[in-house]
Structures are given as C-alpha cells and as structure tokens.
Amino acid sequence: MKRIVVPGILTATIFAIFPIGVRAEVFVGQRVKASVPFENIDHSAWHALLRKYVDQDGQVQYQAWHASRDDRQALEQYLARLSAGGASRSTPKAAKLAFWINAYNAVTVHGILREYPTTSIRNHTAKLVGYNIWKHLKLYVGGKPCSLDHMEHKILRKMEEPRIHFAIVCASIGCPRLLNEAYTADALNEQLERNSQDFFSRPQNFRYQQGSVQLSSILDWFGEDFGSNQATQLRTISQWLPTQEARDAATSGRIRVSYLDYDWNLNERR
C-alpha cells in the first residue's frame, strides 16, 4: 500500500471534518438472512418505476422521481425486497445476473436521488476522505452489505458475461442507456443483446471511419472482459456493431483503435 503523507495543518482540517471513527457508509435495504431464491425475487416494482421515470434513451426524470415521496419509498421497498435474495448451487446464472444488474442500477438511482439535485455522480466519489457512492453506499443482501464496486467487480464481472458493461449504469451520459424495464432471467439474453446493439449505435460510444474506430472508454477500462488482446476484443464486439463495414473492419486485424472521452454528466431528462 502506498503511504500518503499529509501536511499537519491539512491533516487537522481533515479530521475536524471527518473525525477518527466516523464512517462514511450508507446502508440500504434490510439486514436479514437470505430467504428468497434469486429466481423468485419479484422485480415488478422496479419495472414499474423504470417505465414511469425512464425514457427509451435511458434518460431519467430524477426531478419528478425525487419530488414523489411515494415513489422514493417504492424504490426503498424494492431494495428491501432484494435484501432477502440468495443463491444456491441450483440457481440459474441468468437469475443471478438479472438480480445483480437490477440491484446495481436500483442502488445507483437511489444514490442519485439521495444527493439530488446534482450534476454528476462524480460529485459524490471522494478519493481520500468522505463519502464515495461506489464504495460507501451499500445494499444488504442476505445479511451482508454490498457496495456498487463489490457488485460490479466481485460479483458481476466474475460471472464472465461481458454484456453486463452494456447493462449496468452509473447515472452518466457516457454509460449505456438505463433500460426502462427490469431485467429478468427469462428475457435476459434478449435484453442484453438489445442493449449491446443500442450501445454501439450511439456516436458517444462508437465511431467508425475507414481504417479506424473510436470506442467508449468502457472498452478501454474493461477490455480484458472482452478478450485477452485487442484483436480478440474487437472480434467480440463486432457482432454488435451497427454496419457490416464496421463489423468487417473490426475482424480484419488491420484497424486503428482510440477511445472517446467519457461524459460524466448526469443522465437526466428534464
């Protein structure tokens, strides 16, 4: 671990604001034992909220959602329902994926509503001290608190389904669209395919010119999830590219790759 040396005056200031022993964690859901298999969790409340507040482009009406006490409570009740979820050896992979994708997206929306009004999730990602939404906002699942980072890196990415990167949403314009329906085990493959194709249809995520492609930074940050080298990664994503010319170029092995700037502005519909 790299040691950070902080000047004495700054140290005193930091501890005046964040005294030793004060924890930044925020817990949602309920601290209960797992009692409902993931495949039996009801996501209909989350589905109804998405239908009400999220448009076809994945833009969210945060202002209206925040103004509705009933619907903020409905989201909290849904998160509490997720807390009872649990997996066994017989739980289908699709049920696990659907559960954790929904959990990630619902906790993120809850976190933004908690901070609203805000212009970006990056306003709430302290690096040194204080609250970091990705690390400190935690959902109880089966009695254990799970942060957004834990859900993404320790659970979802471990399941070796690269299309999760086109489904989990960090409340930013640069993210994939927030699908305005709950993910379900039965529809999961179709939903992931649909959102993967949508992702690459948008110029903020993919641009092709003869001899070169520009990709979302997501493919830079998480490229290893799509293959062990760039040529393999390009072959993997080629199936979702919007034109045959782009697909052929991606599989040719003779193409220049660069990465687009990521837009961290809030994915808000006004």
Question: Alpha helix (H) ranges present in 93-132?
Answer: 93-115
Name the pTM for this structure. Answer: 0.92
The pLDDT tens digits of the residues spanning 159-191 come to: 999 999 999 999 999 999 999 999 999 999 999
Which of residues 82 and 18 earns the better pLDDT score?
A: 82
Q: What is the mean pLDDT of residues 229-242?
A: 98
Strands 36-37, 85-86: pairing is parallel
Q: What is the mean pLDDT of residues 138-165?
A: 98
Q: Is the pLDDT of residue 3 over 60?
A: no
Q: Is the pLDDT of residue 55 over 70?
A: yes
Angle formed at CA 137 by CA 173 and CA 47, multiple of 5 degrees: 60
Which of residues 20 and 100 earns the better pLDDT score?
A: 100
- Are 267 and 58 in contact, with CB atoms under 8 Å apart? yes
Q: Is the pLDDT of residue 139 over 50?
A: yes
Q: Tokens for 120?
A: 């970006």
Q: Is the pLDDT of residue 270 over 90?
A: no
Q: What is the dihedral of CA 232, 233, 239, 242, to 10 degrees?
A: -130
- Are 156 and 168 in contact, with CB atoms under 8 Å apart? yes
% of the chain beyond a pLDDT of 90: 88
Q: Is the pLDDT of residue 103 over 70?
A: yes
Q: Tokens for 237?
A: 């994503």
